[in-house]
Each structure stands twice: as structure tokens, then as C-alpha cells.
Structure 1
Amino acid sequence: MSEEKSARKSKKRAKEKKEARTNNGAKSKKREKKNYNYSDRDMEERRKSKRYPTEIEVRYSSEQGLAVEWITNISKGGMFIKSENPLPPGTPLKITFSVPGREDLSIEVEGVVKWRAEPSDPSIIPGIGVEITKIDDRNRKLFEELIESLTKKQNQRTA
């Protein structure tokens, strides 16, 4: 057997031994880095509910404390909150904001941070994507009225 063939077989055996030591013979999978910088079209296709652009002051509390920020878009299932200090995914939140045009009425919901956009990326707005996880009947009614009014407003702009 030639030296070259022998060297290849030796490398193959070493690789097989290494695989056998890790994961009981299963090949280890490299973690793929996920790219969360989707185009607007990609995001529209991924979303469960239509987003409506808005500017609503929001107060939310988490284990890290209280924050006052701005909701920049909202949907039936969640919202994006602009923040220079985005919380990590999985963080539970208690969220309160006033109904636009009816500041005497507040909507209170609970949610969880699903993803965050870091301020270190200048191509995107920093903040957190929040999924609503809990809302009572009174707040649901107000929330649905808000979404309906934003839908009408958007339809008037496009008409």
C-alpha cells in the first residue's frame, strides 16, 4: 500500500474515532448563525397578522424595571417597541398604553419578548418584538377597536 493511501486511511480512522467519542457516533452539527435581517416582504410573509404603523407611548415592566418607550407598529398578536436597550428574548412584560385619541382609556396586556433588534446595527431600528400572551375581555375589546381604527386609517391612505 502506498504512503498516500495509508495516510488517508489513518485520517479516516481518526475522524471515525472522534465521531464515536462525540454524540455516540452521531455526526455533530455545526450551529448555523441565523440572519434576522429580513426584507419587508419576507417579514410580511412570516407574520401571522398584518402590522399597522403607529406611534403610541408605552410603559412596560419586567424583572429589569420599568421603561417608557414607543410602539412603532402593532398587530392583533403583538407589537414592536422601539428601544435603545432591547430586552432579551423570553423576557415577560406587563404592558400599558393609552388608546390614541382617548387618553383616558388605557390598555393593559401581558407579553413576552420574541426577538430583539440590537442598536449596534445601524440598518435597523433597535427594539423588541413582543407577542401578547394574556389579555382580559375589557382590554381585548379596546385592543380590537384600536386595530380596527388603524385598519380604517390605513385603508383611507391607500384609497
Structure 2
Amino acid sequence: MSDRRNTGGRAAIELNVEYKRLNTFFADYTRNISKGGTFIRTDRPLDVNTEFVFALSIKNLAEPLRLRGRVKWIVRPVDATPDSPAGMGIEFQYNDEKERRETEAIVEKLMANELGDELAGKLLGHKLSTKA
């Protein structure tokens, strides 16, 4: 399974994620996140290569973080195991370099707030700034 994921460090953080497919609204959870993507745990994964907009509800942010992503891989409920739950691996998509940097900064801050600077820095592969 690890060959499907990008190489960015992942953090075990549970966030609410909301997205829409056709005219149906879904609310699921993400349990890990990296600067390059996330895994959305769901029994209704979208098809591989589907691009969609989703919103992550993050405490201390007034508005949900709206991101564009592309489904890279899926685990259907019938194939799910305790170590590989049903869901979809999402690769973040960006309009430009500025949007990528801004999103990565938010993800880094989220990881530092949830895990502490030291562990988040290890997952990300660099020392985090402790500036407020």
C-alpha cells in the first residue's frame, strides 16, 4: 500500500471533510494528512482520477480549508481490512505555486499544533519554526 502514497510525512489527525458528488453531499473523515494529500475514509469512494473540491474543517480556522484534489487510489469496502480501511487517497491539486505554498503552510501548522513541533518536523523532514 505504501507505494500508492506520496513521500511526504503523514500525520494521524482526524478532520471532518465534506464534498459533493453529483447532487449528493458527503461528510466523512480524514485520518491522515501530508503536504501533498490526504486519505478520506469512506464507504463511497469516488473513481480513480476524479477531480473534486472538498472542505476540511480545522479547529482554530474560522472557515473550512477548501482544497481541490484528485483521487489517486481507492480501497472499496469489499477489499477493506483493519490496516487498510475503505476510502480514497487524494492528491492535492493547485492552481499555482502560491496556492501550493499557502496550503503546505496550513498543513504544517496543523501538524505542529496537533503533534508538536518535534514530531511534525520529523514527519515533514525539516525543523519547524516555532514562531506564533
In structure 1, which of residues 107, 112, 133 is the aligned counterpart of residue 65 of structure 2? 107
> Letter of the aligned partner of 1:66 in structure 2?
F
Structure 1 match to 2:78: 120
Checking the alignment, whether the CA contact within 8 Å between 1:112 and 1:131 is kept in structure 2 is: yes
Structure 1 match to 2:45: 86
Structure 2 match to 1:147: 108
> Letter of the aligned partner of 1:86 in structure 2?
P
- Shift in CA distance, 150/143, structure 1 to aligned 2, threshold 3 Å: same
Seq. identity, %: 24
- Shift in CA distance, 113/126, structure 1 to aligned 2, threshold 3 Å: same
- Shift in CA distance, 97/139, structure 1 to aligned 2, threshold 3 Å: farther
Structure 2 match to 1:24: none
Structure 2 length-normalised TM:
0.71
Aligned length: 115
Structure 1 length-normalised TM:
0.60
Which has the higher Rg, Structure 1 or Structure 2?
Answer: 1
More helix by share: 1
1: CA distance, partners of 2:49 / 2:94: 15
- Shift in CA distance, 61/134, structure 1 to aligned 2, threshold 3 Å: farther
2: CA distance, partners of 1:46 / 1:94: 20
Structure 2 unaligned regions, length at least 5: 121-132
Task: Report which structure shows greater RCO (CA 8 Å, sep ≥6).
Answer: 2
SS in 1 for 2:77: coil
The 5 Å alignment of 1:120-139 reads 120-123=78-81, 124-134=84-94, 137=98
2: CA distance, partners of 1:142 / 1:88: 24
- Shift in CA distance, 103/90, structure 1 to aligned 2, threshold 3 Å: same
Structure 1 unaligned regions, length at least 5: 1-37
